[in-house]
């Protein structure tokens, strides 16, 4: 039974990362017609609606501490992370942002190591992270493949990675409440949408009927809302529940690999030797980290 739960967790994480790895491309396409905040709001409004339709049951909780936990998860994992990521995509390439946010496992590991009791780190994890970090560095500093690289985009992407690490730890704590994943995800979405309203108001929304009439925009919005948000947040939270925050976050190492491939196919971003070697090191880091798990981690 334990092996089955582990397989279920790894499968959920893999599906999530494959879809999330391509969201940078979809967002980059949508930025031609919408602002970063517009995309964020529409995406999670659709996600919330889908989850409500799939499971209209009410999440029963009368504990203020639990509500604060959901609110913190919504603020970090929905509003702040995706706002930082979307704005970063304005200043940098999709492949570059996808690589930099892959630093999230480092932050997750550090936070989990000091806060939780069951997220111990083995020497092999750091060896794997060093390999993946080297791959990330090679891709990030490949100026030849991304001449439009803007330091502001890098900083925002790195900040997004740190915020996502906090969300991963909060998700683990939410999973301990033993509530249905769809309901807890929907509640997190609700708080995320509430927190993003001020940003939507002050940013000067550019929503227009003409933008929504373009098939390319409609397909990408639905992909982000129903697939990357509604579906993937459920599968990601399931993976965190089955594997733990640190193990699950290691899968983020695969994001740049998927993003680089998708960016080249859709946005014609070049796949240089530096990108190839960086991708190989990133995958090696993922494999090493997974093969040298600490037995105390679950």
Say if 298 falls within a structural domain: no
Q: What is the pLDDT of residue 143?
A: 53
Say if 296 falls within a structural domain: no
16-47 tens-digit pLDDT = 999 988 999 999 999 988 889 999 999 999 99
The whole-angstrom separation of Cα 256 and Cα 94 is 9
The whole-angstrom separation of Cα 99 and Cα 255 is 7
214-267 tens-digit pLDDT = 889 999 999 999 998 888 888 888 888 888 877 787 787 777 788 888 888 888
Q: Is 204 left (phi over 0), alpha (psi -120 to 50) or beta?
A: left
What domain count does the chain have?
1
Say if 54 falls within a structural domain: yes
Say if 259 falls within a structural domain: yes
Evaluate if pTM is beyond 0.85.
no
Q: Name all contacts of 268-276 with Cβ < 8 Å and 24+ positions apart.
A: 269/93, 269/94, 269/95, 269/145, 269/146, 270/145, 271/145, 272/142, 272/144, 272/145, 274/138, 274/139, 274/142, 274/144, 274/145, 275/95, 275/138, 275/139, 275/142, 275/145
Say if 161 falls within a structural domain: yes
109-166 tens-digit pLDDT = 777 777 765 556 778 778 887 887 787 777 767 654 455 556 688 789 889 988 998 9
Say if 297 falls within a structural domain: no
Give me the domain span that covers residue 162.
2-291
Say if 254 falls within a structural domain: yes
159-218 tens-digit pLDDT = 998 899 899 889 888 888 888 888 998 999 999 999 999 888 877 666 777 888 888 999
> Which residue from 278, 284, 249 is spatially nearest to 81, judged by alpha carbons?
249
212 within 8 A of 33, measured Cβ to Cβ: no
């Amino acid at each position: 039974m334990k092996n089955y739960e582990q397989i279920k967790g790894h499968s959920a994480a893999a599906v999530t990362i494959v879809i999330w790895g391509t969201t940078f491309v979809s967002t980059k396409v949508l930025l031609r017609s919408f602002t970063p905040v517009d995309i964020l709001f529409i995406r999670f409004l659709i996600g919330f609606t889908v989850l409500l339709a799939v499971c209209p049951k009410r999440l029963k909780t009368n504990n203020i501490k639990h509500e604060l936990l959901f609110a913190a998860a919504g603020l970090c994992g929905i509003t702040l992370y995706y706002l930082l990521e979307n704005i970063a995509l304005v200043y940098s390439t999709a492949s570059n942002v996808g690589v930099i946010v892959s630093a999230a496992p480092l932050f997750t590991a550090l936070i989990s190591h000091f806060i939780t009791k069951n997220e111990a780190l083995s020497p092999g994890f750091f060896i794997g992270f060093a390999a993946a970090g080297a791959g990330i560095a090679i891709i990030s500093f490949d100026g030849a493949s991304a001449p439009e690289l803007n330091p502001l985009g890098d900083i925002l992407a790195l900040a997004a990675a740190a915020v996502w690490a906090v969300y991963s730890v909060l998700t683990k704590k939410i999973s301990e409440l033993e509530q249905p994943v769809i309901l807890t995800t929907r509640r997190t979405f609700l708080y995320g949408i509430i927190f993003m309203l001020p940003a939507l108001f002050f940013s000067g929304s550019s929503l227009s009927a003409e933008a929504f009439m373009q098939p390319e925009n409609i397909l990408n919005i639905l992909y982000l809302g129903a697939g990357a948000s509604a579906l993937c947040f459920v599968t990601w939270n399931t993976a965190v529940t089955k594997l733990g925050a640190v193990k699950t976050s290691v899968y983020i190492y695969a994001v740049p690999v998927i993003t680089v491939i998708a960016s080249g196919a859709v946005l014609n971003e070049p796949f240089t030797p530096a990108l190839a070697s960086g991708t190989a090191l990133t995958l090696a880091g993922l494999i090493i980290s997974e093969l040298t798990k600490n037995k105390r981690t679950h």
